[in-house]
Amino acid sequence: MTFRIGLVSVSDRASQGVYEDKGIPALEQWLHNALITPFETVTRLIADEQSVIEATLIELVDELACDLVLTTGGTGPALRDVTPDATLAVADREMPGFGEQMRQISLKFVPTAILSRQVGVIRKRCLILNLPGQPKSIRETLEGLKDGLDHVIVPGIFAAVPYCIQLLEGPYIETRADVVAAFRPKSAIKPQE
């Protein structure tokens, strides 16, 4: 079973070529560093238009069978920031713990993290997560915060992603523990071959 990940960067200016998108390259680099399981990505760079975001998410889940979709950008309170609205509009179920944890991580750095409207949802058998737009924030959100000795202080959200996808009957995903250790109950761990 192929692990397929949709990566969506939501940015008016980057989608118009005003500046280079940094979200998708940051996500791809992090995934290559973090995942042991082979995967393929499908990428989309789109404008911050709710109808376009909704159509893109539906395409990635319904037509391209992504197991995971990560969006970056468009999650603040500005009038043009509609990524969470589009994500909720196409969702079957909300997964509020992901948004709560993303804000907890960001609050360690900036008090304006409470302005973030990031959400996590399920559509069919796919987990969709709205991530921040800055590469450093993307890494911190996925990986969590560590002290100088590499002990996790605040867990990143990706620690829960493999088990969530497993519960949605998707592929069994393994991560590099030195980047982010996937957590599962013992009963859900596959024996080593």
C-alpha distance from residue 123 to each of 35, 143, 150, 177 (Å) = 23, 24, 34, 28
Domains of the chain (ranges, CATH numbers): 3-188 (3.40.980.10)
Q: pLDDT of 162-174, one tens digit each?
A: 999 999 999 999 9
CA-based nearest residue to 72, from 26, 29, 109, 17: 26
Q: pLDDT of 20-74, one tens digit each?
A: 899 999 999 999 999 999 999 999 999 999 999 999 999 999 999 999 999 999 9
Residues of the chain with pLDDT > 90: what percent?
Answer: 81
Q: pLDDT of 123-142, one tens digit each?
A: 999 999 999 989 999 999 99
C-alpha R_g of the chain? 16
**What per-residue string of b and e applies to 145-163 under the rule 16 or more CB within 10 Å gives b?**
beeeeeeeeebbbbbbbbb
